[in-house]
């Protein structure tokens, strides 16, 4: 039996850089006489966090988009209905999907050393590509340090946000630092390297081209893209982005080139929903079923039954969106939510109604950001 509905929600806020500024009563959403539960939920989130505004899309039998607050604190204009936003570390899910497609094609091995694909690139105090695997890059278990300390923060970052830093500079800096010792440690370095790995394996000009060819165009994501280096403006309607440092600084225009494959993409809530629906509900973007995205015949799915749940041997807990995750196929549908903030996203799930066992099983994702 198929799921009757898989509810998917994506929230994008006008607050960037992980700060939840307090904007005062002017930003509290006004009461609505005919407010729906979804609208009240979003109004409450804006009120409780102090965000200037937010937009949320929920997919089910019918797609519903609600907005709250304002998209521009200077003019008071609302958040555009089809707002494009910087989705930050949700970019990692697109990059991980491409890597898993390459695994399905036999062009990349998850447990192969990074050195196999990027000879000599990962050598330094921070790590050694001869002992770090592709799987570890995907799962944030490589021990590689993050290059974030190279970048300024707060007002200093806002004043220098147009300065370009390329991927190679960030990787080299990270490798000059001490490695982490925790079993799991979130690091952008791993995904900067995965972007480079995609380019080496596919001979593409950029990992951006492979994301577009393999995911964005097949799924019809017309408002999803990765800006080129030194492309400062968002290409379509969008809310303003702000940083409190202290005081409110408009940082909507910025050079996101330093984020690269770790977090520079732009999209809309509805299109992020469509991507995760294809990935987690339909399973059409990763092995063994991803060839459906390109109109090819999918391979047989290697599912194994484990009592009340089904586990996919094709999902190595590698799909990561700013968190470590566990991929299983279960009896329950899930609601997937992702928030765009800090210049990176955060992802989580919450249970929806449980249904009969699906046929074929449906991707779900769980974890903690």
- Domains of the chain, by residue range, sit at 8-28+36-83+268-368
* First CA to last CA distance, the chain: 32
Separation CA 272–CA 9 (nearest Å): 9
**Residue 197 confidence (pLDDT):** 98
Residue with tokens 């991929």: 327
Q: If you write DSSP's letter for every residue of 41-63 in order, what string do you get?
A: HHHHHHHHHT-SEEEEEEESSS-
Q: Taking the CB of residue 72, how many other CB atoms lie within 10 A of it?
A: 19
**Tokens representing residue 240 in the block:** 């303003």
3-state secondary structure of 290: helix
Residue with tokens 């990561």: 320
Residue with tokens 């609208």: 39
Q: How many Å separate Cα 66 from the centre of its chain?
A: 21
**Residue 353 confidence (pLDDT):** 31
* Eight-state DSSP code of residue 331: S
**Tokens representing residue 284 in the block:** 């059409």
Residue with tokens 């699906």: 358
**Residue 286 confidence (pLDDT):** 66
Low-confidence spans in the chain with pLDDT less than 50: 1-26, 28, 30-31, 33, 289-369
* CB contact at 8 A, 179 and 143: yes
**Tokens representing residue 104 in the block:** 């399905």
Separation CA 75–CA 337 (nearest Å): 29
**Residue 288 confidence (pLDDT):** 52
Separation CA 278–CA 292 (nearest Å): 10
The dihedral of CA 320, 209, 236, 259: what is its sign?
positive
Tens of pLDDT, residue by residue over 313-360, are 333 333 433 223 333 333 222 222 323 333 333 333 332 332 333 333
Q: Which residues are within 8 A (CB) of 158 and not within 5 positions of it... i.e. 6 or more apart?
A: 243, 245, 249, 251
Tens of pLDDT, residue by residue over 101-120, are 999 899 999 999 999 999 99
The dihedrals phi and psi of 125, each to the nearest 5 degrees, come to: -60, -35
The dihedral of CA 23, 64, 214, 282: what is its sign?
positive
**Residue 341 confidence (pLDDT):** 33
Separation CA 171–CA 178 (nearest Å): 13
3-state secondary structure of 303: strand
> Residue 356 catalytic?
no
* CB contact at 8 A, 12 and 85: yes
**Residue 219 confidence (pLDDT):** 92
**Residue 143 confidence (pLDDT):** 96
E strand or H helix that includes residue 338: strand 332-340
Which residue among the candidates 89, 142, 267, 320 is catalytic per the annotation? 89
The dihedrals phi and psi of 341, each to the nearest 5 degrees, come to: -145, -135
Alpha helices in 187-319 (DSSP H): 188-202, 207-211, 269-276
């Amino acid at each position: 039996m198929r799921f009757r509905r898989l509810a998917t929600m994506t929230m994008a806020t006008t607050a960037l850089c992980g700060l939840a500024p307090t904007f005062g009563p002017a930003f509290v959403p006004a009461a609505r006489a005919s407010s729906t539960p979804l609208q009240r939920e979003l109004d409450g989130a804006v009120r409780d966090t102090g965000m200037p505004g937010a937009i949320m899309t929920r997919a089910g039998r019918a797609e519903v988009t609600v907005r709250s607050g304002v998209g521009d604190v200077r003019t008071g204009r609302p958040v555009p209905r089809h707002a494009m936003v910087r989705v930050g570390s949700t970019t990692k899910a697109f990059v991980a999907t491409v890597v898993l497609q390459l695994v399905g094609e036999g062009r990349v091995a998850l447990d192969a050393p990074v050195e196999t694909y990027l000879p000599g690139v990962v050598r330094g105090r921070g790590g050694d590509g001869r002992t770090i695997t592709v799987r570890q890059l995907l799962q944030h278990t490589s021990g590689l340090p993050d290059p974030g300390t190279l970048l300024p923060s707060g007002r200093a970052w806002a004043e220098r946000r147009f300065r370009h830093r390329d991927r190679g500079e960030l990787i080299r800096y990270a490798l000059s630092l001490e490695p982490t010792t925790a079993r799991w440690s979130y690091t952008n370095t791993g995904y900067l390297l995965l972007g480079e790995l995609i380019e080496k394996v596919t001979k593409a000009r950029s990992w951006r081209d492979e994301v577009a060819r393999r995911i964005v165009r097949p799924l019809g994501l017309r408002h999803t893209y990765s800006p080129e280096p030194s492309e400062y403006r968002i290409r379509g309607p969008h809310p303003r982005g702000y940083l409190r440092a202290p005081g409110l600084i408009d940082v909507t225009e910025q050079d996101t080139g330093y984020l690269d494959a770790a977090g520079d993409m732009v999209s809309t809530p509805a299109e992020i929903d469509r991507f995760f629906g294809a990935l987690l509900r339909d399973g059409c973007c990763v092995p063994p079923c991803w060839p459906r995205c390109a109109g090819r015949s999918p391979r047989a799915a290697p599912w194994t039954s484990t009592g009340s749940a089904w586990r996919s041997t094709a999902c190595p807990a590698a799909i990561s969106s700013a968190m470590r995750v566990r991929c299983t196929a279960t009896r329950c549908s899930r609601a997937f939510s992702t928030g765009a903030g800090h210049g990176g996203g955060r992802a989580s799930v919450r249970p929806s109604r449980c249904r009969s066992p699906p046929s074929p099983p449906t991707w779900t994702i769980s974890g903690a950001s």
